C-alpha cells in the first residue's frame, strides 16, 4: 500500500489573519472552532495587478473601528476596513518630495499605522518610509478621506543621507520610531519632535581587522513598556540587542546559521524574539542571554518575509516566498496550520479581536444550537409520554416562539462567556492554549445547558 504521511496539525484556535501579496491582493484567513482546526481562506480582496503589489501593511488592531493600511508599489497608501474590505481612503503620494513622479525611483518600504486615535474625526495616522529614507507622518481625516487630495497634518523628515532603508518599527507607546537598512545604522527617532535621539555604532573590527558595513534587515522593540531595548537583525545573519540607555554598540550579538535574517517579531513577555531567515528557517531567541530557544521545523522552504505574534494566544504566524501562511505554537514550537495562498506573500497581520466580535461566527453557529435544542426537546418529549396531542402542538408552537427568543439570548450568553474567558485567559497566559480549547467546548456546553434550563422552565410554566 502506498504509505502517505499525513501532516497531523493539531488545529489552531479561532484566529483571523490577513495577508498581502505581490499581486496586490489581500487574503483573509480564518480558523474557527467549528469545524475545529484547519485555517482557510475566507475572502480575497482586490484585483490581481503586479504594478499595485503591496510592499508593506499595518493593522491598527482595535476592538472598535480597526483599520488596515497598505503601502503599494506605486506609492499609494490605502486604508481598508479589515472586517469587510471596504476601502476607506487612498493617499496617492507619500510626501511632498515624491510629488514629481519620483515614486518609481523611491518606492515605499515600510509602513506603520498608529493604534491610538487622536480624535474621532481622524481616520488614521500612519508613518511611511521610502527606500531613500524619507519618512513622513500623515493623518487622514474622515471628511476628506474619499478625495485623498489633502490628508490632514503631515510631517516629513529625512532619516538618512545615503543608503537604503529596509525597515521601520514603532514602539508600543508609539512615541519612538526606529529605522535601519543597507548602509544605515539603527536610528531611534522621537516621533513628536521628529528628532534623532540615538543612533547605533557598528561593532569593533574583528580579529582580522575586517570591518563589516552595516546592513540591517529587520528590527523591533523588545519590551512593551520600554523603548530603550532594541533588537535588530543584520544581513550577515546576526541578531543584535541594543540598549540605548547603556551604549551605542550592541549589548548582545548572536549569529544564526548562514542566511540573512529577514524578519523579526518580539514576544509580549518582553524577552523572547522570533526570527525568520532567507532560507526559511524560523527560530526563537531569548534576548536576556542571547540563547537559541529552538527552531520551528516544518517543511518551510522559502524565505520568510513577515512574522507576527498574536497578542494574547501563544501563536505566531509567518509568511514568505513559499506562499504559505503558517501558524505555529510558541510553547511547543509545532506547526498548527499551513494555508497555501498561491502568491509570494509580503506581510501578515493578525486581527486579535476576532473571537470577541465575529458576527459571522455566531451566525454560522446559530443553526447548530437550534438543532441541538430541538434534539433535546425531543428526548424530553419521549420521557413524557402522557401529554396529549393537542397540548403538544400548542407546546411546540410556543416552543418555537421561545426558541427564537432563546437563540438570541444564547448568542448574548455566548458573547458574555467569551468575554469572561478572554479576561481569564489574559490573566493566565501559560495554559492558554488548553484554555482556548476548553473555551470552545465549554462555551457550547454551557450555552446548551442554559438553553436546556430555559426550556424546562418554559415547560413548567406552561404546565402551570
Partner 1 sequence: MAKEKKRKQPASDSAPPQGDEGEGRRERKGKKAKKDKAEAILPSQIKNKDKRSELHAKLKREKKAEKRKLARERSQAIRRAEELGEQPPERQVPRTIENTREPDETVCRPDDQELFAGNDADEFNDVLKQHIIPKVLITTCRFNSGRGPAFIEELMQVIPNSHYVKRGTYELKKIVEYAKNRDFTSLIVVHTNRREPDALLIIGLPDGPTAHFKLSKLVLRKDIKNHGNPTSHKPELVLNNFTTRLGHRVGRMIQSLFPQDPNFRGRRVVTFHNQRDYIFFRHHRYIFETKESKVASKDKKAKTSESKSQPEKQVICRLQECGPRFTLKLLTLQHGTFDTKSGEYEWVHKPDMDTSRRRFFL
Residue count of the chain, please give it: 464
Pick between residue 67 and residue 232 the one whose CB is nearest to partner 1. Answer: 232
Judge contact between 188 and 198, C-beta under 8 A. yes
Closest approach, Cβ 163 to partner 1, in A, equals 14
Pick between residue 199 and residue 323 the one whose CB is nearest to partner 1. Answer: 323
Pick between residue 217 and residue 447 the one whose CB is nearest to partner 1. Answer: 217
Closest approach, Cβ 306 to partner 1, in A, equals 13
Pick between residue 23 and residue 252 the one whose CB is nearest to partner 1. Answer: 23
Pick between residue 20 and residue 244 the one whose CB is nearest to partner 1. Answer: 20
Give dist(CA 432, CA 426) in Å, integer.
Answer: 8
Give dist(CA 103, CA 81) in Å, integer.
Answer: 25
Pick between residue 220 and residue 234 the one whose CB is nearest to partner 1. Answer: 234
Give strand pairing partners of 233: 218, 239
190 — phi, psi (to 5°)?
-85, 120
Give dist(CA 83, CA 369) in Å, integer.
Answer: 25
Q: What dihedral do alpha carbons 230, 234, 238, 241 form, nearest 10°?
A: -10
Judge contact between 108 and 165, C-beta under 8 A. no
Judge contact between 265 and 287, C-beta under 8 A. no
Closest approach, Cβ 55 to partner 1, in A, equals 14
Closest approach, Cβ 322 to partner 1, in A, equals 7
Closest approach, Cβ 4 to partner 1, in A, equals 5
Q: Which three cell numbers stand for residue 402?
A: 421561545
Task: Please give the residue ranges that form the binding site for partner 1 (CB under 8 A).
Answer: 2-5, 22-23, 25, 48-50, 215, 235-236, 259-260, 262, 278-280, 297, 299, 301-303, 321-323, 340, 342-344
Closest approach, Cβ 237 to partner 1, in A, equals 10
Pick between residue 19 and residue 352 the one whose CB is nearest to partner 1. Answer: 19
Pick between residue 188 and residue 348 the one whose CB is nearest to partner 1. Answer: 348
Closest approach, Cβ 88 to partner 1, in A, equals 25
Pick between residue 1 and residue 464 the one whose CB is nearest to partner 1. Answer: 1
Give strand pairing partners of 26: 20, 45
Pick between residue 152 and residue 260 the one whose CB is nearest to partner 1. Answer: 260
Closest approach, Cβ 1 to partner 1, in A, equals 9
Closest approach, Cβ 84 to partner 1, in A, equals 21
Closest approach, Cβ 385 to partner 1, in A, equals 51
Judge contact between 147 and 97, C-beta under 8 A. no
Closest approach, Cβ 50 to partner 1, in A, equals 3
Pick between residue 27 and residue 402 the one whose CB is nearest to partner 1. Answer: 27
Amino acid at each position: 500500500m502506498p504509505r502517505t504521511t499525513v501532516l497531523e496539525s493539531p488545529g489552531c484556535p479561532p484566529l483571523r489573519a490577513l495577508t498581502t501579496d505581490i499581486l496586490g491582493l489581500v487574503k483573509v484567513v480564518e480558523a474557527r472552532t467549528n469545524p475545529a482546526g484547519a485555517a482557510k481562506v475566507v475572502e480575497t480582496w482586490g484585483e490581481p495587478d503586479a504594478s499595485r503589489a503591496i510592499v508593506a501593511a499595518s493593522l491598527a488592531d482595535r476592538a472598535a473601528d480597526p483599520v488596515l493600511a497598505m503601502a503599494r508599489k506605486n506609492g499609494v497608501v490605502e486604508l481598508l476596513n479589515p472586517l469587510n474590505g471596504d476601502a476607506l481612503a487612498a493617499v496617492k503620494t507619500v510626501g511632498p518630495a515624491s510629488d514629481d513622479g519620483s515614486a518609481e525611483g523611491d518606492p515605499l518600504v515600510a509602513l506603520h499605522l498608529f493604534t491610538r486615535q487622536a480624535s474621532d474625526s481622524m481616520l488614521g495616522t500612519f508613518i511611511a518610509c521610502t527606500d531613500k529614507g524619507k519618512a513622513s507622518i500623515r493623518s487622514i481625516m474622515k471628511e476628506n478621506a474619499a478625495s485623498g487630495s489633502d490628508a490632514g497634518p503631515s510631517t516629513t523628515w529625512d532619516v538618512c543621507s545615503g543608503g537604503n532603508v529596509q525597515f521601520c518599527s514603532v514602539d508600543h507607546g508609539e512615541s519612538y520610531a526606529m529605522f535601519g537598512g543597507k548602509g544605515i545604522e539603527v536610528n531611534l527617532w522621537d516621533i513628536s519632535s521628529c528628532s534623532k535621539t540615538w543612533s547605533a555604532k557598528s561593532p569593533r573590527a574583528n580579529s582580522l581587522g575586517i570591518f563589516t558595513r552595516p546592513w540591517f534587515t529587520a528590527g523591533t522593540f523588545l519590551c512593551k513598556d520600554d523603548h530603550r531595548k532594541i533588537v535588530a537583525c543584520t544581513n550577515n545573519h546576526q541578531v543584535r540587542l541594543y540598549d540605548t540607555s547603556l551604549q551605542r554598540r550592541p549589548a548582545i550579538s548572536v549569529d544564526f546559521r548562514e542566511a540573512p535574517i529577514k524578519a523579526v517579531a518580539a514576544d509580549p513577555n518582553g524577552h523572547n524574539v522570533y526570527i525568520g531567515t532567507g532560507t526559511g528557517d524560523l527560530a526563537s531567541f531569548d534576548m536576556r542571554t542571547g540563547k537559541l530557544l529552538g527552531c520551528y521545523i516544518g517543511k518551510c522552504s522559502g524565505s520568510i518575509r513577515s512574522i507576527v505574534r498574536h497578542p494574547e494566544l501563544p501563536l505566531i504566524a509567518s509568511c514568505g516566498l513559499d506562499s504559505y501562511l503558517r501558524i505555529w505554537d510558541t510553547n511547543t514550537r509545532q506547526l498548527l496550520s499551513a494555508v497555501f495562498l498561491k502568491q509570494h506573500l509580503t506581510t501578515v497581520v493578525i486581527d486579535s479581536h476576532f473571537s470577541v466580535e465575529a458576527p459571522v461566527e455566531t451566525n454560522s453557529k446559530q443553526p447548530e444550537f437550534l438543532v441541538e435544542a430541538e434534539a433535546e426537546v425531543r428526548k424530553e418529549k419521549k420521557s413524557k409520554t402522557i401529554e396529549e396531542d393537542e397540548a403538544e402542538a400548542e407546546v411546540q408552537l410556543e416552543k418555537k416562539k421561545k426558541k427564537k427568543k432563546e437563540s438570541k439570548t444564547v448568542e448574548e450568553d455566548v458573547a458574555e462567556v467569551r468575554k469572561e474567558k478572554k479576561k481569564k485567559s489574559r490573566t493566565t497566559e501559560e495554559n492558554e492554549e488548553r484554555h482556548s480549547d476548553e473555551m470552545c467546548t465549554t462555551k457550547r456546553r454551557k450555552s446548551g445547558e442554559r438553553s436546556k434550563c430555559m426550556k424546562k422552565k418554559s415547560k413548567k410554566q406552561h404546565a402551570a
